[in-house]
Amino acid sequence: MADPNFSWIYIIIFLAIPLARIIPRILAKKGIGKNFSRPLPQSEFQSGFDENRLNVQERASMESSKPQSKNDLVLDVLNRGSKTFENIQKNTGLDSSELDSVLEDLEKNGLLKVVHKQGLLGPKTELYPTDKGFRKYSS
């Protein structure tokens, strides 16, 4: 009697099942068709992170009673580790022209050092506080 050929089982196990899991994810990322993943309720996303997150201006006003200038606010963000213009702008809430003038002022006073680097996607500019800037921030 002829031995039946069960090689189609290997196709199902090794190709069809993984593809059935991968294809909906790819389609969902590109926004094609229905969203195959189940939507999570908003309560799962609202951990304590959003509630405890304060921007730098609120934190700075809570830490010290004296009002901070924009230069001090930007210096605070720089000393906390933000290196790029976009991160500083996001953390301070200043518009780009205002932030640009503040950064130029800090650089002119020797509180800020601008470093140009070559990254994988092209040149990038990083901003670092100098020793003088760190001393002014910590005092």
CATH for 68-138, among 3.40.50.1820, 1.10.10.10, 2.120.10.30, 3.30.300.280? 1.10.10.10
Backbone φ and ψ for 125, nearest 5 degrees, come out as -115, 130
Angle between helices 70-79 and 56-63 (to 10 degrees): 100
The domain limits of the chain are: 68-138
Q: Which ranges of 31-117 does DSSP label H, i.e. alpha helix?
A: 42-45, 48-52, 56-63, 70-79, 85-92, 96-108
Question: pTM score > 0.75 for this model?
Answer: no
- Enter the DSSP assignment of 29: H
**Per-residue pLDDT tens digits for 30-82:** 877 654 455 555 554 555 444 445 555 555 555 554 447 888 888 889 888 88
Which comes out higher in pLDDT, residue 139 or 132? 132
Which comes out higher in pLDDT, residue 42 or 92? 92
